[in-house]
Amino acid sequence: MGTYAIGIDIGGTRMKCGAVSPSGKILAQHVVPSNASRGTRGLLKGIAETVNEFERRLGKPAGIGLGLSGVVDPEFGVRYLPGKFKGLEGFDIVPRLRKRLGVPVWADNDGLLAMLAEHRFGQAKQVKWAATLTIGTGVGSGVILDGRILREPSFLFGTQIGHCVLQNYGGKYCLTTARGTAETLCSCTALALSVRDGLQRGIPSILTDLYWKDAHAIDFKKVIEGVRKKDKLCLDEFDRWVHNLGCLLVTVTHAYTPQMIILSGGGANAADLYLTRLKKHIHHNTFRYPPDRRIRLVTSRLADMAGVLGGAAHVWSRLS
């Protein structure tokens, strides 16, 4: 068996790859385009080239763990993912890679793998009940219950926090066909779009000139810059966003009773602005026993490599 595993975190624009030791040390890494617009052929080619490069440097890997969005069958690939990645839904990427590369390959939902990474290498090492939220383009999730990631026939358990409904009346339309889900209210995309809406309606802001030059330049990072500069529009939309995120974390607490909730993804980069507020919100709005028990709310220390580490951890778990 190889002395390292390869974790591959496949997003719509980027594919993050890492060679990882059993202790979680990243021995080598690459970030390359995922070629989502070119479909599965370009994706397979990119994965094979990266794996071959690692092999040249480090020898044969013990296995490969893929992090994918949507409903993921570990022995097959994505079973259900409408409109997110051209051709990936229903594509048997796992057996194809096994045959092409000659090593064990497994896949799983990227949110679950982020939780597995935290449990094996990160904040939740000594924790048996935990949940993680990856806040980015959407809201991904994973849970550990009694020290295990639970499985069920539809491959969905623990991954659906982003689809919890928070605002049914008047909320934005979601991929699930529901309105007002966490993805439409608590993602980085949600905050950026709400500020763009205000700018479109002519509300004064330090971001106005940039918006009229290029509306897409108003992303989460720019909004947070506005918040730090006390821009009124950014502050107002940010306050609503934090409130919505707090409501979601209360739902997570009631659903899974975690000892710890871990925030990761791009949204966690602004945690210094809202973490204390979220802790108070959870404490004052959850029903729990004992009533004074605190839920630990922390940010990930794995930066943007949680998916890679989770993919590798998935390999080590399967092999053991």
CB neighbours of 213 closer than 8 A, spacing ≥ 6? none
Q: How far is CA 87 from CA 7, 57, 70, 74, 259, in A?
A: 22, 32, 13, 18, 39
Q: What is the mean pLDDT of residues 272-277?
A: 98
- Distance, in Å, from the CA atom of 158 to the CA atom of 255, rounded to the nearest integer, reads 10
| pLDDT surpassing 80 at residue 216 | yes
| DSSP 8-state code for residue 310 | H
Mean pLDDT, rounded, for 116-121: 96
Strands of the 5-10 sheet, one edge to the other: 26-33, 14-20, 5-10, 64-68, 105-109
The alpha carbon dihedral of 250, 252, 255, 260 has a sign of negative
Residues of the chain above pLDDT 90, percent: 82
**Of the candidates 162, 166, 176, which has an alpha carbon nearest to the alpha carbon of residue 131?**
162
Q: How confident is the model at residue 131 (pLDDT cuts 50, 70, 90)?
A: very high
Residue 20 above 70 pLDDT? yes
Q: Which domains does the chain have, with CATH numbers?
A: 5-116+305-319 (3.30.420.40), 125-301 (3.30.420.40)
pTM (whole model) above 0.85 = yes
Average the pLDDT over 31-53 and give the result.
86
| Mean pLDDT value across residues 261-289 | 95
- Assigned token pair, 56: 């040249």
User: In whole angstroms, what is the distance from residue 315 CA to residue 7 CA?
Assistant: 8
Q: What is the pLDDT of residue 221?
A: 97
pLDDT score, position 223: 98
Q: Are 180 and 167 in contact (CB under 8 A)?
A: yes
pLDDT at 180: 93
Higher pLDDT, 312 or 40: 312
Q: What string of DSSP letters covers 261-302?
A: EEEESGGGGGGGGTHHHHHHHHHHH---SSTTPPPEEEE-SS
Model pLDDT for residues 244-260, shown as the tens digit of each residue:
999 999 999 999 999 99
pLDDT digits (tens, 9 = 90+) for 146-161: 999 988 899 999 999 9
d(CA 96, CA 231): 51
DSSP state of 188: H
pLDDT at 246: 98
Task: Specify the pLDDT at position 272.
Answer: 97
Which residues, other chains included, contact 106 with Cβ-Cβ below 8 Å and sequence gap of 6+?
63, 64, 65, 66, 74, 75, 94, 314, 315, 318
Question: What pLDDT digit, counting tens, does each position of 87-112 carry?
Answer: 899 999 999 999 999 999 999 999 99
Give the span between the Cα atoms of 116 and 67, in whole angstroms: 11
Q: What is the pLDDT of residue 85?
A: 76
pLDDT of residue 1: 65
Centroid of chain to Cα 97: 24
For the cut 80, the answer to whether the pLDDT of residue 137 exceeds it is yes
What are the pLDDT digits (tens) for 224-246?
999 999 999 999 999 999 999 99
> How much is the mean pLDDT over the chain?
93
CA distance 111 to 140: 5
Of the listed ranges 32-41, 162-171, 229-238, 291-300, the least confidently predicted one is 32-41
Q: Are 78 and 91 in contact (CB under 8 A)?
A: yes
83 touches 12 (CB < 8 A): no
Mark 140-168 as b/e (b = at least 16 C-beta within 10 Å): bbbbbbeeebeeeeebbbbbbbbbbbbee
